[in-house]
């Protein structure tokens, strides 16, 4: 019977989640109940909490990035990224993502897999810059085209990380393959596997790089890209205008009158 009492923590978790109570409180009570049911004293239970946190503390570091990125976005990180790329007249979506692909592969090959990623670079920086580059070259984008640019931004990060990290000898996938091959009597050093990952990474770069260059062509030929502002004769709004709205001509201003005069002429 005492063995079944140890499972009381599971029942507490189920009931707590069904009642929509605070998850942290529910899990804590369930852990305490499990420890006491197993015959542990309070000091041993608290020690188990501390030991588990100490052994897995690196997992919590990732969550620290989320509020930091949220604050940066709150204070205009995406707009600043758009403004930066808007100043580069020759920048295109394909070229920008190609540079990011190279950066992602090189850093992943050096073991720096956490330097970039979807939450810390793609969403707040890379995707807005790719959208701004497309708007800089082709005008305002419709929603499907905008989503396609975002998808290519995310895919570029995936390809760069996936095919770049295998070059690093201490990555988990290399160690997994080494252990698997040893079970069948094939002895290989991690360096041997890493060296043979280089041709694959180069091929992935060339293939995805070609897709990015073709993306520029498809964007240029896309008839659904909206150029409503330009077709109405109004000045096109650039990414800089989103950050500095005072750059836009105000009604009745001299700049607005001059632009209207040029249109009539």
Condensed to tens digits (0 to 9), the pLDDT of residues 15-71 reads: 988 988 888 888 889 888 888 888 888 888 888 878 777 665 555 555 666 677 777
Alpha-carbon distance 102 to 108, whole Å?
A: 10
Q: In a 10 Å sphere around its CB, with 0-12 CB exposed, 13-18 middle and 19+ buried, how is residue 79 labelled? A: middle
Q: Is the pLDDT of residue 240 over 70?
A: no
- Characterise 76 by phi-psi region: left (phi > 0), alpha (psi -120 to 50), beta (else): left
Higher pLDDT, 130 or 183: 130
Q: What is the pLDDT of residue 97?
A: 95
Three-class SS state of 183: coil
Q: Packing angle between helix 127-138 and helix 93-109, nearest 10 degrees?
A: 160
In this prediction, residue 140 has a pLDDT band, given cuts at 50, 70 and 90, of confident
To the nearest whole number, what is the mean pLDDT of the chain? 79
User: pLDDT tens-digit profile of 65-76?
Assistant: 667 777 776 777
pLDDT-wise least confident of 78-82, 223-227, 232-236: 232-236
- Residue 133 in contact with residue 81, Cβ under 8 Å? no
Q: What is the pLDDT of residue 176?
A: 80
- Of 101, 125, 110, 117, the closest CA to residue 62 belongs to 117
Q: Is the pLDDT of residue 159 over 90?
A: yes
Mean pLDDT (whole number) for 88-105 = 91
Matching residue, tokens 């707590």: 16
Higher pLDDT, 137 or 153: 153
Higher pLDDT, 235 or 10: 10
Mean pLDDT (whole number) for 71-97 = 79
Q: Model-level pTM greater than 0.95?
A: no
Percent of the chain with pLDDT over 70: 76
In this prediction, residue 88 has a pLDDT band, given cuts at 50, 70 and 90, of confident
Q: Is the pLDDT of residue 222 over 50?
A: yes
pLDDT-wise least confident of 129-133, 213-217, 233-237: 233-237
């Amino acid at each position: 019977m005492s063995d079944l009492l140890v499972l009381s923590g599971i029942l507490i978790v189920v009931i707590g989640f069904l009642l929509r109570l605070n998850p942290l409180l529910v899990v804590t009570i369930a852990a305490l109940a499990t420890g006491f049911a197993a015959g542990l004293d309070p000091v041993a239970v608290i020690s188990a909490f501390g030991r588990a946190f100490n052994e897995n503390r690196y997992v919590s570091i990732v969550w620290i990035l989320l509020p930091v990125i949220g604050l940066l976005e709150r204070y205009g990180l995406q707009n600043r990224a758009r403004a930066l790329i808007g100043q580069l007249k020759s920048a295109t979506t394909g070229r920008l993502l190609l540079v990011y692909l190279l950066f992602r592969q090189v850093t992943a090959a050096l073991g720096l897999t956490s330097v970039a990623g979807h939450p810390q670079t793609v969403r707040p920086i890379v995707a807005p810059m790719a959208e701004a580059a497309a708007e800089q070259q082709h005008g305002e984008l419709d929603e499907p085209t905008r989503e396609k640019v975002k998808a290519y931004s995310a895919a570029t990060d995936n390809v760069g990380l996936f095919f770049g990290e295998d070059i690093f000898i201490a990555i988990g996938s290399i160690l997994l393959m080494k252990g698997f091959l040893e079970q069948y009597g094939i002895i290989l050093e991690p360096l041997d596997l890493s060296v043979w990952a280089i041709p694959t990474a180069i091929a992935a770069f060339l293939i995805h790089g070609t897709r990015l260059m073709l993306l520029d062509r498809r964007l240029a030929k896309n008839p659904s890209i909206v150029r409503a502002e330009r077709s109405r004769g109004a000045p096109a709004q650039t990414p800089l205008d989103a950050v500095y709205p005072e750059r836009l001509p105000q009604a009745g201003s001299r700049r607005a009158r001059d632009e209207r005069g040029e249109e009539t002429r």
